[in-house]
Structure formats: structure tokens, C-alpha cells
């Protein structure tokens, strides 16, 4: 059972000073990795650089303290960049704070209601589609800074940004392109030289030094934003009912995205250290972390797979490492944040290009298109396209609805009602060693037996209408061993069949009714209508009862 207890409280029972030393080292290294990423993701999200650090500090500390994973590292991630930028553009920072608080509350409720396992039911095609879509939107959003373009408008939508970049291509800054190219080269080559020091940090230092020493004319963070090294302070946003209604879809998307990405990161981490996370406690921690992140000027946070993996690889094995990572970033914010003004914007763009590439999962996207059924491809491409053309909210909503409809269609297609006579006419080579094989059963005269296969729900309820009610039929047996579930629509359709049979003096029996359909029948009083004696444990008992009814009917007619 998934306990609602933070992992920190469990691991501290056997915590040793040797592990404490490893956790400190891992936490500091992860903080160094998180520094340029937090700044870059904040800028990609349309907010000032320090807000990315506020998120990693506040949410990172709280989620590690309360979380259900031993090694999860949380903070700003690329998955939120486009949706956060859209909220900020439409509703400002207060709107973002309200949406994040609402999302946090939703996550806490999900955890308390034990929804941790339910989030895994979001189809892989949807998560792959919107992940690839987010990567494309991040890439397009950084073209301007990478090329040093001067745009004549301030586009918000992704397609508008791409169009504006094409129109302004003549304003390209060759020096910006050069700095961006050098930064990408460092990001690609450096990990092959040294895996301990993050390539993003080296790229930032080298590019900033080049721009400063040679006085290269490119935009820097300091030339576009006011840098603050102040610690995060508490600010409760003004909110009203209208704002809450407007931001509800955005809040829901943030909550689902935070939940899915965090739990996926937990699963990856479990595989790396041989542990098992507490999914519901992780949701509660993510919700609490996001609420406090927004109250202290941050943006939405979630579990970061890359930073979590770095934590594990450097010896982190308890939530202490995540808390050290947050404390280290706080010290960096207070002491070194003014130097962030020197970072060139093309370098930030280059870092985000690499982030977009790494998160895109383009190989999985192509593989799914090659090997998936058409229905799954439709959901995949639709989710990707809607993410790029519109936004993540619409993409997830439409994707989930499409996936649900297509799934119901598949279930309706496999649900079937067939008579034994129909099956016996089939020339397939059945396994006659199976005691339940229909060919080995003797069916009394004037009796029809129907095998019902698959879930019976509103999409397949009309299949009951395939039952024959000819005048010579006296008994109809419905064999339901292969019906795992039934809804009220199917029960209503079955009720209509029973009524039609009663008019023709036909007795209807049910055999081998599974738990869920039987419970539904009993709750609706259907078992009383059909007669409890006509609900049999297995087909053999049903056939015996049908034979007895036939004998009784024959004696009655003879007399």
C-alpha cells in the first residue's frame, strides 16, 4: 500500500554520516547543473531570470522534504515553458501565481484521493505527442535570440513567432550567431571531455568572457532584464472568482503535467537505485511545493529527470541531497546572481536548443508513427499539432477525448454476442481437450445458447439485439464468462431483451456472471426480475436447468 509518509522520515532511521557526505557533494553538483538551466527556463517561460532560481530553491527544498522519492530533484522544467509563457502574456505574474496555487491544490487533492496510480493511464501517444510539441515550441521560441533578430512585433503564439522570425531574417546579427554556435559546440563536445562539470556552465562562462573581453555587440541578460539577487519574499496574489474560472483549464494542465512528469521521473529514479517511490505522497509534495513556489515569486515546478539522474550518478541517495541542492542555489542567488547579467542571450538560446532536443523523444515519435495503429497515430499527430499551433491545454483536452473515443470504439468492436450454432459452423480447429469447449456440450431442444465476449457498455449495448427470438425457442442462455464489465446502458438493453422474451414465454438464463456485472444487476434489482434461480454458476448447470424446464413443459403439454 502506498503510504502518505515522506521518504525523508523513513530513510533517516538508518542514515549514516558517510551517506551525508555523499548527499552534500551530489547536492552541490546538481545545484551547479541547475543554475544555468533554471535561468534559461525562466527566460523561456517569459519571466525574469531570478524566478527560475526561486522555483528551484523553494519548490526544490519542500518537494525533497515532503516527497515520496529518495532522490527526486524538482525545479523548473522545459515542459512548463510554453504554458507559463502563455499565462504570463495573457494574465501577468499574478495570473500565473493563481494558476500555480490552484494546480498545487489539485495535486494535493489527487494525492489524498490516492490518484497516484491513475495518472499512468494517460496514453503514451498523448505524452509523446505533447512532449515533442513542447520541444518544437521551445526551439522556435529561441530562434530570435540565437540569430540576434530584431522583431517588429511581440508575437505570443508559436506560429506567429516563426512567421515573425522569417519576416525579420534580414536583421540577423552575425556575432550573435557566432556566440550561439560556439555555445552549442561546447554543449555537445564538453560532456565527452569531462562529465562532472556541466557543459551548460562552461558554455555560459566561455561565452560571457568572449562577449565581455572583445566587447561583442550581442544582447545579454543584463541588457534585457533587471537582475535581482534578493532572496525570495512572500507575496499572496490578488484573486477573484472571474480569474479563477478563467485560469481553471491552465491550472488543470499544470497539475496533470506536473503529476505525470514527476511520477515518470520517480519511476526512472527507482530503476536507477532499486527503490520504490510513494506516488501519492509525491503528488502531495509536488502540490505543496508549487503552492509555496508561487507564493515566493516562482513558477511551476516538477520532477526533473536529468537533474534527478545527475543526483543519483553523483552519490545522492536520500532527500537530503535535494535539500542541499536548494540551499546551494540560495547561496548562489545571493552571492553570484549579479554576474548572470553577463550571460549572452544566444548562449541561453543554445542551452534551450539542447534541452529541447533532449526532451523531444523524436526517435520514439517516429517509431510510433511507423509501427502504431492508425487510431494511435491520429492521437499522436493531433496532440503534437495542437501543442504547436494552439497550446498545451487544448492539446491535452482534445488528445484525451480522442484517445477515449477511439478506445471505446475498439472495445465496442471486440464486444460480441454469438450463438453456439454460429460458432459450431466455424471450421476452426478447436482444442477439444478444453472441458469448456462448446462442441463438448449437449444443448437441449428449443434452447439457444449465446456466448457474450468483451465489455458490454453503451458503445456495444446494441449487440444484445442480435439475440434470436424465434417462435420455436423456449430457453435462451447467455453465457457471460467473458464479460469483465457492464454499464447501465448494457443493462438497460439486456432488460429490454428480457421483456421481449417474457412476452414470448421464453425463459432467459445467465451463466458464469462475473463480479462487476453481477453486482450491478443486484443493485438494480435485475436479479429479481430474471429470477435468482436463472442466474447459474456455470454453463453445465444452466444446460441442466434448461433440460428440466423442457421436460416440465413437455409433461404439461401432454397432460
Mean pLDDT by 10 residues, the chain (559 residues): 86 93 95 94 95 97 97 94 92 96 97 84 87 93 96 87 95 97 97 90 96 96 92 93 94 93 89 92 97 97 93 94 97 93 96 93 92 92 93 85 86 76 46 56 85 85 74 87 90 88 90 93 90 92 90 72
pLDDT in the model for residue 58: 98
Show me where the domains of the chain are located. Answer: 32-359, 416-558
pLDDT in the model for residue 124: 86
- What are the CA-CA distances from residue 106 to residues 69, 100, 115, 291 (Å)? 20, 10, 11, 10
Alpha helix ranges (H) inside 372-467: 374-389, 392-414, 420-424
Nearest to 105 by CA among 249, 289, 233: 289
pLDDT in the model for residue 426: 46
**Rounded to an integer, what distance in angstroms lies between the CA atom of residue 293 and that of residue 84?**
14
**Rounded to an integer, what distance in angstroms lies between the CA atom of residue 181 and that of residue 350?**
8
Report the SS3 class of residue 390.
coil
pLDDT in the model for residue 252: 93
pLDDT in the model for residue 120: 67
Q: What is the largest CA-CA distance in the chain?
A: 115
Q: For the segment 334-364, what is each residue's pLDDT rounded down to a tens digit?
A: 999 999 999 999 999 999 999 999 989 899 9
Q: For the segment 89-124, what is each residue's pLDDT rounded down to a tens digit?
A: 999 999 999 999 999 999 999 999 998 877 767 788
| Half-sphere exposure in the Cβ direction for 517 (13 Å, CA) | 25
pLDDT in the model for residue 383: 94
**Rounded to an integer, what distance in angstroms lies between the CA atom of residue 286 and that of residue 262?**
8
- Give yes or no for a contact between 329 and 38, defined as CB atoms under 8 angstroms apart: yes
pLDDT in the model for residue 440: 63
- Compute how many other C-beta atoms are within 10 angstroms of the C-beta atom of residue 398: 17
- Give yes or no for a contact between 393 and 90, defined as CB atoms under 8 angstroms apart: no
Nearest to 57 by CA among 275, 299, 344, 225: 299
Sequence-distant (6+) residues with CB within 8 A of 315 are 22, 23, 25, 26
**Rounded to an integer, what distance in angstroms lies between the CA atom of residue 511 and that of residue 489?**
20
Span 416-558: which CATH code? Answer: 3.30.750.24
Nearest to 485 by CA among 513, 523, 451, 524: 513
Amino acid at each position: 500500500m502506498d503510504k502518505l509518509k515522506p521518504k525523508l522520515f523513513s530513510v533517516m532511521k538508518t542514515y549514516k554520516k558517510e551517506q551525508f557526505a555523499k548527499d552534500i557533494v551530489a547536492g552541490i553538483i546538481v545545484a551547479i547543473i541547475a543554475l544555468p538551466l533554471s535561468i534559461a527556463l525562466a527566460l523561456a517561460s517569459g519571466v525574469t531570470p531570478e524566478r527560475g532560481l526561486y522555483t528551484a530553491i523553494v519548490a526544490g527544498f519542500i518537494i525533497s522534504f515532503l516527497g515520496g522519492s529518495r532522490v527526486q530533484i524538482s525545479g523548473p522544467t522545459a515542459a512548463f515553458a510554453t504554458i507559463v509563457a502563455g499565462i504570463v502574456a495573457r494574465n501577468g505574474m499574478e495570473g500565473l501565481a493563481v494558476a500555480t496555487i490552484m494546480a498545487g491544490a489539485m495535486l494535493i487533492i489527487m494525492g489524498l484521493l490516492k490518484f497516484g496510480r491513475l495518472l499512468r493511464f494517460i496514453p503514451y501517444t498523448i505524452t509523446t505527442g505533447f512532449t515533442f510539441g513542447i520541444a518544437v515550441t521551445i526551439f522556435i521560441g529561441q530562434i530570435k535570440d540565437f540569430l540576434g533578430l530584431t522583431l517588429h512585433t511581440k508575437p505570443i503564439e508559436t506560429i506567429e513567432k516563426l512567421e515573425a522570425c522569417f519576416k525579420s531574417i534580414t536583421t540577423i546579427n552575425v556575432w550573435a550567431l557566432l556566440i550561439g554556435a560556439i555555445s552549442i559546440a561546447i554543449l555537445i563536445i564538453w560532456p565527452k571531455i569531462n562529465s562532472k562539470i556541466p557543459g551548460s556552465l562552461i558554455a555560459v562562462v566561455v561565452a560571457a568572457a568572449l562577449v565581455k573581453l572583445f566587447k561583442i555587440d550581442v544582447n545579454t541578460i543584463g541588457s534585457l532584464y533587471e537582475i535581482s539577487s534578493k532572496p525570495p519574499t512572500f507575496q499572496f496574489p490578488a484573486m477573484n472568482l472571474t480569474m479563477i474560472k478563467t485560469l481553471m483549464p491552465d491550472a488543470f494542465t499544470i497539475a496533470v503535467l506536473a503529476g505525470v512528469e514527476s511520477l515518470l521521473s520517480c519511476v526512472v529514479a527507482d530503476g536507477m537505485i532499486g527503490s520504490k517511490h510513494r506516488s501519492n505522497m509525491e503528488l502531495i509534495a509536488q502540490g505543496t511545493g508549487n503552492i509555496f513556489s508561487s507564493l515566493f515569486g516562482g513558477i511551476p515546478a516538477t520532477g526533473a529527470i536529468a537533474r534527478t539522474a545527475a543526483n543519483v550518478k553523483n552519490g545522492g541517495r536520500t532527500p537530503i541531497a535535494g535539500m542541499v541542492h536548494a540551499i546551494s542555489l540560495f547561496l548562489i542567488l545571493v552571492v553570484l546572481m549579479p554576474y548572470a547579467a553577463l550571460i549572452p542571450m544566444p548562449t541561453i538560446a543554445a542551452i534551450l536548443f539542447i534541452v529541447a532536443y533532449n526532451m523531444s523523444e523524436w526517435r520514439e515519435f517516429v517509431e510510433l508513427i511507423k509501427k502504431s495503429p492508425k487510431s494511435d497515430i491520429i492521437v499522436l499527430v493531433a496532440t503534437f499539432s495542437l501543442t504547436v499551433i494552439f497550446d498545451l491545454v487544448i492539446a491535452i483536452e482534445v488528445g484525451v477525448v480522442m484517445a477515449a473515443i477511439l478506445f471505446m470504439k475498439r472495445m465496442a468492436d471486440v464486444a460480441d454476442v454469438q450463438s453456439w450454432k454460429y460458432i459450431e459452423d466455424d471450421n476452426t480447429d478447436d482444442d477439444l481437450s478444453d472441458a469448456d469447449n462448446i462442441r463438448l456440450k449437449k444443448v437441449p431442444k428449443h434452447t439457444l445458447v449465446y456466448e457474450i465476449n468483451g465489455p458490454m457498455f453503451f458503445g456495444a449495448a446494441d449487440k444484445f439485439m442480435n439475440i434470436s427470438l424465434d417462435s420455436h425457442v423456449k430457453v435462451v442462455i447467455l453465457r457471460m464468462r467473458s464479460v469483465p464489465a457492464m454499464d447501465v446502458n448494457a443493462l438497460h438493453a439486456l432488460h429490454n431483451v428480457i421483456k421481449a422474451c417474457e412476452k414470448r414465454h421464453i425463459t432467459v438464463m445467465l451463466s458464469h456472471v462475473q463480479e462487476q456485472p453481477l453486482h450491478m444487476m443486484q443493485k438494480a434489482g435485475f436479479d429479481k426480475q430474471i429470477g435468482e434461480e436463472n442466474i447459474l454458476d456455470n454453463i453445465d448447470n444452466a444446460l441442466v436447468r434448461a433440460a428440466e424446464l423442457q421436460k416440465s413443459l413437455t409433461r404439461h403439454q401432454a397432460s
